[in-house]
Structure 1
């Protein structure tokens, strides 16, 4: 039996915020920032994508109604500030947590958009926006290469996960099954792409067309 959608989304929003907050705090550790820098990176990364999603959908911003996600992000930042030195390979943790958070919010954004009455295309777009905006802000502030500028399968994984989730819901699958399938697809594709070094074909510069001769 399906769980009511609202409580399910609240729980997933919280979990995804903490996952992304941890990546933001780890970036702060790599930059050797103070504890307020950790908090800033954690909060903006943790709630940035969901905030953008809710504003576009015209919905109450999830952490304004209930500040629990922001509090969780702050606690994550503090814990990371005092424990990041125990992590030998911090960038690896960033990649894994980011993949988990990306896959999770891809389905959260999609389900929330469908719940708000959006069509399939808009729902998929909301999943992608929710999954990527927080990471883009984190990378921009941390002077890291943005996820949309790297030749990696990241946005594509998010989009496919969101599309799978939306399609399953439309065709009558249970919400939990749709969310799990979408999450599993996005997460697996991202991890395998990292492991195998997969990337989408990039545009290659080539000579343009010569100016056509004038006259008749």
Structure 2
């Protein structure tokens, strides 16, 4: 179980760092800007979670996470210079990073002994805040705040993990995999069929 979670964690770091570089490319940033955006996107959610929970920030305790994010940023920067990368790839990669980090974050908080409700909130934060910071730095409306089904997908994955953990009828690896697939499936379905949540609308007189 620990090995699977660590692999998912590393996959999430790489994928989110890649989305940071894609966003930087669409804003025509230089190498430094792209690497900064890669690192912030990859570590922002987990950093916020750890600071709120008053536990050691994960990449300070295990600095290889930051190095992997930075290396991904450099490699991706030169890769996208020679490849035409559609904006839709950014959305798909972001969905994959969201799915992995939501589940990782929820599982970590449960392991610290917090309640399921706190674990779900922190899981959603882990999965969404890196992208939130990325979008703000790029001058875009964050995906988290748009009408697209984004936070709903994250919350669904976190809730799936909590419920299956509580039922205790499946191996831990299966629970993690199912929760990742639920988050990813909902987010990709929203992208594929342009599904969106209701928006706040003031009645005009």
Q: How does 1:49-68 map to 2 (within 5 A)?
A: 49-68=45-64
Equivalent residue for 1:23, pick from 19, 22, 30: 19
The answer for the alignment partner of 1:192 in structure 2 is 189
Kept after mapping to 2: 8 A contact 1:26/1:90: no
- 2:8 is paired with a residue of what secondary structure? helix
Equivalent residue for 2:33, pick from 34, 37, 40: 37
* Cα distance between partner residues in 1 of 2:144 and 2:125: 12
Kept after mapping to 2: 8 A contact 1:166/1:178: no
* Cα distance between partner residues in 2 of 1:134 and 1:151: 18
The answer for the alignment partner of 1:118 in structure 2 is 114
The answer for the alignment partner of 1:181 in structure 2 is 178
- Could you list the runs of 5+ residues in structure 1 that have no partner in the other structure? 209-216
Provide the TM-score with structure 1 as the length reference: 0.90
1:14 deviation in Å?
A: 1.8
* Cα distance between partner residues in 2 of 1:147 and 1:43: 18
- Could you list the runs of 5+ residues in structure 2 that have no partner in the other structure? none
1:8 deviation in Å?
A: 3.8
Aligned residues: 204
* Cα distance between partner residues in 1 of 2:98 and 2:25: 21
- 2:20 is paired with a residue of what secondary structure? helix
The answer for the alignment partner of 2:140 in structure 1 is 144
1:88 deviation in Å?
A: 2.1
1:85 deviation in Å?
A: 2.7
Deviations 1:60-101 (A, max 9, x none): 211111111111111111111111133323312211110000
1:165 aligns with 2:161: yes
Deviations 1:15-56 (A, max 9, x none): 211111100011111111111111100000000001111122
| Structure with the higher helix share, 1 or 2 | 2
Deviations 1:124-151 (A, max 9, x none): 1111000111001000000112112211
- 2:149 is paired with a residue of what secondary structure? coil
Provide the TM-score with structure 2 as the length reference: 0.95
* Cα distance between partner residues in 1 of 2:63 and 2:163: 32
* Cα distance between partner residues in 1 of 2:20 and 2:46: 15
